[in-house]
Structure 1
Amino acid sequence: MTDAQSLSFPRNARSEQRTVTYWCRFPEQQHRYGINAVLALQKPESQSDAYLLVSAGRDGSVRLWSIDHRAQQGRIAKQAHLRSLEEHTDWVNDVVSPGGYPTLVSCSSDATVKVWDLSAGACLATLVEHQDYVRALANVSSRQFVSTAYDNRIILWDLDRMVAFSEMRGDENESIYCIASALHRDGALNGSADCFVVAAGHSDRSIRLYDLRTSRDVMRLHGHADIVRRIRLSSNGLLCLSGGSDGAVRLWDIRQQRCLSVFHHVHEDSVWSLDVPPSFSWFVSGSRDGTVCRTDLRNSKETRRLFEPDGHSARREQVCDWSKAVLDVCIAPTANYSSNLWIGFGESQLRCVSMKHPDPTHECVIEGLPSVVDYRVLNNRRHVLVRDSEHGIHLWDVCRALNIRSFGRDRSLDDVIAEIDELVYVPSWFNVDTRMGSLGIRLRKSTVSDADVYAVDIGLEAESEDQKVNIGEHTLRGLFHWWRKQWLKRNPHVAETLNTGSGQSSDTGSTTAEKKAAVLTPFVFPGDIPVVVNEQGHIEPLIHKLAHRFDGSEIEERLMPSWVIDIVGRNRTLAKEQVKISFGLEPAIGSTLQSLRQSKLTAPRILRIRKAMAYVSAKLSEQTTSANQRASPGGHRGALGASRAATDALSSEPIVPPPQEIEILCRGHVLDPNMNLGTVRWLIWKSPKDLELTYRRRGEQTSNPAPESHPVP
């Protein structure tokens, strides 16, 4: 996994600004999001009809599949899966094999390039030089390759030393989308040849050729009307094939620096993928609209459609179904590169089609898993409702990273929310991230400690109903409890301090309530969920490990956010001023209960309505007792007659009802005693003015009763 030894530049940002993200996703053998790149590799000892397929996914994984064409038909995901490489923390955008099997290089939107040993399934190095999403790779020799990113740089890497030793830059304010060399991506055609020129597609719609020896661009080809998305060079480096967002495929003569042919008719939408056989006599292209075509370079009219999505429409102006878009195509290295083609889609599916018999009966499919496409955070800020790409709806408990309930496919998120959401207000303490097709929960110091609740409300066994707990801090303690065990072994003085109870909070002395909150049973997390630590201003991760793999080492301590060490390691709580709410408390119009002398109040957001009921009862009782004392023979004589008359009128029944016989109302709604002030303020009152509450005796008729005379659920 990524650690400090992998990073090639110093870290200066403060530890407090680091974030923690954990993914509600478990070890899987299938992709959960789109397939950005596909590469076929032949093992030296393998049979001619068997090879290794490598797929790079938007779920952050690189997956290896064993393909044997003698048994290739139907759905083969489980039996074909060999290994998963899951150390990237963002989309994996491209893969190449400079020297052929077993060396693989991958690049990602996490700004890193990783070198793998496929035979061992191990990451040999994490290369960090780019400062933006790393978009594409190309081989330049058996031990060298280039990478390019949206930071407008092309970097030449040496595999023997695992270092960058040359760099080329494009113009400012531009991005590079693709890159290619005369050497094949799978390393099989490399031999002993080296490549000194690479071609790159720029955001200014040009193709530029760079000389690796001089680190300069030596040629620019103009003709595309939109961004150049894919480039392929012939093995002699004299011809270039390009596909762009303008829907055109162009064939270029490098020596003459001119376009030889334009294939406008092949696709009616953006061309996002290209592949060519070693002969460079024809090409396969894939489009954003989901179509895949095979076209002869010598006869542009000889084009065959190999695949199109169900219900495909020729109308380009229609809204594109991104899940059906073809992100990459790869010609299988069998039967002289003329038999089969692998297709990677915007959805998590790999499909192999026959180029000789392009019909469904000859297709092979490696199925994927559904990805998260939409979500809603419930009011309790512990549950998140998600909808996946197969229209399934699932409820996740983010405090335990567990899917606790699933709903039908024929419902909308809003319908389910209306059915299951509670009328409760809890401040937001996390952010949701779904960019990798799974539910990600991101925590940062500025918000993680914002949500104080009563422990019993979130299912924890507490000493009393009034014991409070902070959801975010308690979740952190559960997530990092494996790290804490090992860290305390390395820091016995901290463990001794905690055992003696002399620890202190971050900024002030530790209170009894804080100590109780720290020793509550933590939420239980699965140990095999990915946890990522990032630093503000940097894309690449500081730490990326499964939760149970944290070892409390010195490197982890140096890279871990300091606020996590305080909360989890030292059982401290981040000192924050409690949010308080101002509110008025008056008798309901028509109520027989008298007004309070102190009717303008301020209380913490978390205060339960039952506390307000008890307050009303207590204050009314005090006021009545005081009035009776003044009306007694030893009291003040000036108001004796009126006070005695009032006392005699109510002497037949209790003047002040007990707390359970008092109802608190807001906007005519009778409030549930377990509801807190924050819920009333933000979900019922819904006004910038100070909250206004009224009270009455239970069952008493007032001029503004609750609509059904029942507590709001």
Structure 2
Amino acid sequence: MSSSYKRKIQISVTIRNENEPAHRSSVNSLQYDKNTGRLFSAGSDSIIRIWNASKDDSSYNESQNKRYIQSMEHHCDWVNDIVLCCNGQNLISASSDTTIKVWNAKQGFCMSTLRTHQDYVKALAYAKDVEIVASAGFDQAIYLWDVGTLTKLTATNNTVTTSSLNGNKNSIYSLAMSSNANVICSGSTEKIIRVWDARCCQKIGKLKGHTDNVKSLLVSDDGSQIISASSDGSVKIWSVGQQRCIGTIQLHNEGVWALATNDNWTELYSAGKDKMIWKTNLRDFSDSTLILEEDNCIQKILLIEEAGNKYLWTCGQSENIKRFKISNNNTTELVVRNASDVDEDEAPVEGSSTGITLTMRNKNSIKNINPSKPDNNNIDSQKKESFHLPPDIIIYGAPSIRQHVVLNDKRHIVTKDTENNVDVWDVLQAHKIGQHGKVLIDEVVKQYHKRVYVPSWFSVDLKLGMLQIVLDETDVFASWVTAREAGLGDKAQETKLNYGGIFLKSLFDRWAKSTMRYHENSNELDDVNNQTIFQLPLHTTIILSESSGRPILRSCVKDVGNETEAAILEDLMPTWAKEVIEKQVPPKFNKIPFALIPYSANSNSTNNNKNPKRERLSATEMLQVRKIMEHVLSKLVGGNDNAVNNSNNYNPNNYNPGNNAYSIGNTYNTNSQNSKILINPLFSNIENKIELYCNEQKLDPDMDLRSVKHFIWRQSGDVVIVYRHVR
């Protein structure tokens, strides 16, 4: 494996349920297998799901779990597009994780991964007659793949050649190809459509006319026509042979994102941001009807003609998938005419060379099919009622997390999902610990709030609609806490623990190399392993990725100990993680410089003391105020001389926590020096002997130095602490 992976690696962990039978975010693409009645859906939660879609909802008694068949999990980011190949035997997927994956569609497992693209892979196209798939994305590249070759790739036979189509200058959002691959076209933010002959990779031309991103494309089976949809709100029909627009359809109020045609290329369905689905007669562009209005923006429509019926599947900016049965009796007619017939109150769209322009008049020009409600003054409410055609299948999704607050203890996270449910999660244990229902998130945050400062050691990513924890070498070991702060009551209260170290140990506990290391070491380390490492849910997903987000390995807690996974991890695991997991090297402590100044007789500050005696020290950020009080009593103000001289006095400047500070959960025995301090009678009831102040605020003996700096000092430079000897 290339050593380049050693440069900068992040580790991401997804905290989720073991089984995720419903999409948790928007659904981006759909494919239907007529042979089996199975529907494949690709989601922004990184999961492809398979559903039984052979019967309508009346056959399922509202039990959607009976529709769910299987999840296909191997991607690490949004799955943007999918295509079924080889008569439903295989499925190809494209993802924002920059990969293309080849799946066994019948059994639902990943066969191989293609890493040719360097950025998000946004679109796929399929030539069914010759079994060729094309892929395109934000790296401006288009690659052609022979499906037969892809399905034969193995661990040893893992080399594949590909052809590429050059010329794009912008990120590609849409792609389409004729059934014999003689025409392939791409749409992008360049606002033009580029056309090639995929058989010889030769450019045919480029089509200009759109004024915004081209979001969807279709090519007729014979390659003679292209249909394009754009964020400019228009749909255009192009002649490939003439390389010009032969019709512009302007029916949508906002961007058009999805297109579908029937098998005969006589009916066009369009949908998009305005939630409307229109049908246009491709033999007479002036004939358009409004089919229905959806509840959310539509990103994909799939027309299925089966047993004499037409079904329209929809998905988009919702976690739900719907199917509508289409017939001529449930559509609403819209008045559309030739450009010469347009009234003055209509706004025609730029026409083509044929002079055909489709326009939508004001709302009163829409004919409502319900004769009992003819009043056009109330057309808005009538339109919504009439156009909300009830679906005969709804595949419901699950709520996705959209808001989060990391609590001060940097261990717990409060989240709010799309159904306003507020939950609490324990990062170290990688699971949910509290469900508070539909309440204000701020109320729950206040309930769990602690006045403690712990540095951040992870970041949170919600792009999948689930809680994803990201570990980076720059701060993963920043959070040292005491056993008391961590709530580990079975350990000495001042035992120092590192959250990042604990979490990494817990994640890779099954890693063969790590387990072997435990057995090689002393019983004390075995105790650490047994007592401190949390037993995380075995399904917890682990992703190793480059700093750019490009994944290099996806695994889970239960699999990291497998022989194959262990060998890969040995090569890919970043050094900063290996040091802790494999070599048991404790992370370094952060130190904070501070100054001790005697109390002024006139004030509890030193403002009136022109030349105060200042002692500059440096200590671990975990140092408790109580320890500073002990140092002050023994070294600066003096106490019982015999007691002081007979003890191994604590000195913050010389304090070395190495022997008792780092523990992956177990308490390393405190050294004798600190033990003597704890039982020294000089320091009993020290609160009655020494008082410490910072910014004129009396310090709590149980507060640590970093909390003093964060909450009270709140500025750069050495923390100034004033000490007072209470007589």
TM-score, normalised with respect to structure 2: 0.78
Q: Counterpart of 2:568 in 1: which secondary structure? A: helix
Question: What corresponds to 2:580 in structure 1?
Answer: 567
Q: Counterpart of 1:164 in 2: which secondary structure? A: coil
- Amino acid paired to 1:682: H
- Cα 1:518–1:495 change in 2 (3 A) is closer
Aligned mates of 2:489, 2:444 — CA distance in 1? 29
- Amino acid paired to 1:533: L
2:444 aligns with one of 410, 416, 435? 416
How do 1:342-491 and structure 2 match up within 5 A? Answer: 342-356=313-327, 357=330, 359-411=388-440, 413-460=441-488, 463-483=491-511, 486-487=512-513
Question: 1:30·1:368 contact (CA, 8 Å) conserved in 2?
Answer: yes
Aligned mates of 1:214, 1:679 — CA distance in 2? 67
Aligned mates of 2:283, 2:451 — CA distance in 1? 68
How do 1:603-642 and structure 2 match up within 5 A? Answer: 603-619=619-635, 622=638
2:565 maps to 1:578: no
Question: What corresponds to 1:328 in structure 2?
Answer: 300
2:539 maps to 1:523: no
How do 1:209-228 and structure 2 match up within 5 A? Answer: 209-228=195-214
Question: What corresponds to 1:237 in structure 2?
Answer: 223
Aligned mates of 2:311, 2:725 — CA distance in 1? 80
Question: 2:21·2:65 contact (CA, 8 Å) conserved in 1?
Answer: yes
- Amino acid paired to 2:264: S
Shift of 1:585: 4.3
Question: What corresponds to 2:671 in structure 1?
Answer: none
How do 1:288-327 and structure 2 match up within 5 A? Answer: 288-309=273-294, 324-327=296-299
- Amino acid paired to 2:301: V
Question: What corresponds to 1:59 in structure 2?
Answer: 45
Q: Counterpart of 2:558 in 1: which secondary structure? A: helix
Question: 2:514·2:581 contact (CA, 8 Å) conserved in 1?
Answer: no
Aligned mates of 1:593, 1:621 — CA distance in 2? 17
Q: Counterpart of 1:100 in 2: which secondary structure? A: helix
Question: What corresponds to 1:542 in structure 2?
Answer: 552
The one-character-per-residue Cα deviations of 1:112-165 (angstroms, maximum 9, x if unpaired) are 111111222221111121111111111124532111121111111122222233
Question: What corresponds to 1:167 in structure 2?
Answer: 164
Question: 1:498·1:570 contact (CA, 8 Å) conserved in 2?
Answer: no
Question: 1:456·1:462 contact (CA, 8 Å) conserved in 2?
Answer: no
- Amino acid paired to 1:608: Q
Shift of 1:351: 1.5
Q: Counterpart of 1:457 in 2: which secondary structure? A: helix
Q: Counterpart of 2:475 in 1: which secondary structure? A: helix
Aligned mates of 1:679, 1:500 — CA distance in 2? 35
1:255 aligns with one of 241, 253, 257? 241
The one-character-per-residue Cα deviations of 1:199-221 (angstroms, maximum 9, x if unpaired) are 11122111111112321221111
Question: 1:460·1:520 contact (CA, 8 Å) conserved in 2?
Answer: no
2:57 maps to 1:104: no
Question: 2:594·2:721 contact (CA, 8 Å) conserved in 1?
Answer: no
How do 1:34-113 and structure 2 match up within 5 A? Answer: 34-43=26-35, 46=36, 51-72=37-58, 75-113=62-100
2:172 aligns with one of 171, 176, 194? 176
Shift of 1:348: 1.2
Question: 2:598·2:613 contact (CA, 8 Å) conserved in 1?
Answer: no
Question: What corresponds to 2:715 in structure 1?
Answer: 687
Q: Counterpart of 1:209 in 2: which secondary structure? A: strand
Further displaced range: 448-457 or 219-228: 448-457
Question: What corresponds to 2:21 in structure 1?
Answer: 29
2:470 maps to 1:498: no
- Cα 1:697–1:538 change in 2 (3 A) is closer
Question: 2:501·2:580 contact (CA, 8 Å) conserved in 1?
Answer: yes
2:23 maps to 1:18: no
2:97 maps to 1:134: no
Question: 2:477·2:501 contact (CA, 8 Å) conserved in 1?
Answer: yes
Question: What corresponds to 1:271 in structure 2?
Answer: 256
Q: Counterpart of 1:119 in 2: which secondary structure? A: coil
Question: 1:224·1:246 contact (CA, 8 Å) conserved in 2?
Answer: yes
Question: 2:217·2:228 contact (CA, 8 Å) conserved in 1?
Answer: yes
Aligned mates of 2:112, 2:555 — CA distance in 1? 16
Aligned mates of 2:526, 2:299 — CA distance in 1? 53
Aligned mates of 2:70, 2:130 — CA distance in 1? 24
Shift of 1:619: 4.4
- Cα 1:272–1:583 change in 2 (3 A) is farther
Aligned mates of 2:22, 2:449 — CA distance in 1? 32
Question: 1:584·1:690 contact (CA, 8 Å) conserved in 2?
Answer: no
- Structure possessing the higher relative contact order (Cα contacts under 8 Å, 6 or more residues apart): 1
Question: 2:126·2:134 contact (CA, 8 Å) conserved in 1?
Answer: yes
Aligned mates of 1:437, 1:292 — CA distance in 2? 27
The one-character-per-residue Cα deviations of 1:476-499 (angstroms, maximum 9, x if unpaired) are 10111122xx3357xx5x456424
Q: Counterpart of 1:423 in 2: which secondary structure? A: coil
Aligned mates of 2:625, 2:193 — CA distance in 1? 68
Aligned residue pairs total: 613
- Amino acid paired to 1:389: T
- Amino acid paired to 1:328: K
The one-character-per-residue Cα deviations of 1:302-325 (angstroms, maximum 9, x if unpaired) are 444444355xxxxxxxxxxxxx32
Further displaced range: 523-532 or 457-466: 457-466
- Cα 1:176–1:482 change in 2 (3 A) is same
- Cα 1:60–1:72 change in 2 (3 A) is farther
- Amino acid paired to 1:457: E
Aligned mates of 1:16, 1:580 — CA distance in 2? 30
How do 1:198-209 and structure 2 match up within 5 A? Answer: 198-209=184-195
Q: Counterpart of 1:130 in 2: which secondary structure? A: coil
Aligned mates of 2:509, 2:222 — CA distance in 1? 58
The one-character-per-residue Cα deviations of 1:657-706 (angstroms, maximum 9, x if unpaired) are 941324444445443332211112112322225333345689x9xxxxxx
What are structure 2's unaligned runs of at least 5 residues?
151-159, 331-386, 646-680
Aligned mates of 1:590, 1:362 — CA distance in 2? 80
Further displaced range: 584-593 or 524-533: 584-593
The one-character-per-residue Cα deviations of 1:384-443 (angstroms, maximum 9, x if unpaired) are 2222112222211111111112234241x4443344221111111112111111111111
2:106 maps to 1:119: yes
Compute the RMSD of aligned alpha carbons. 3.1
TM-score, normalised with respect to structure 1: 0.79
Question: 1:16·1:562 contact (CA, 8 Å) conserved in 2?
Answer: no
- Cα 1:589–1:110 change in 2 (3 A) is farther
Question: 1:445·1:563 contact (CA, 8 Å) conserved in 2?
Answer: yes
The one-character-per-residue Cα deviations of 1:632-680 (angstroms, maximum 9, x if unpaired) are xxxxxxxxxxxxxxxxxxxxxx999941324444445443332211112
Aligned mates of 2:173, 2:426 — CA distance in 1? 39
The one-character-per-residue Cα deviations of 1:12-43 (angstroms, maximum 9, x if unpaired) are 41525222111011221111111010111112
Question: What corresponds to 1:313 in structure 2?
Answer: none
Further displaced range: 325-334 or 521-530: 325-334
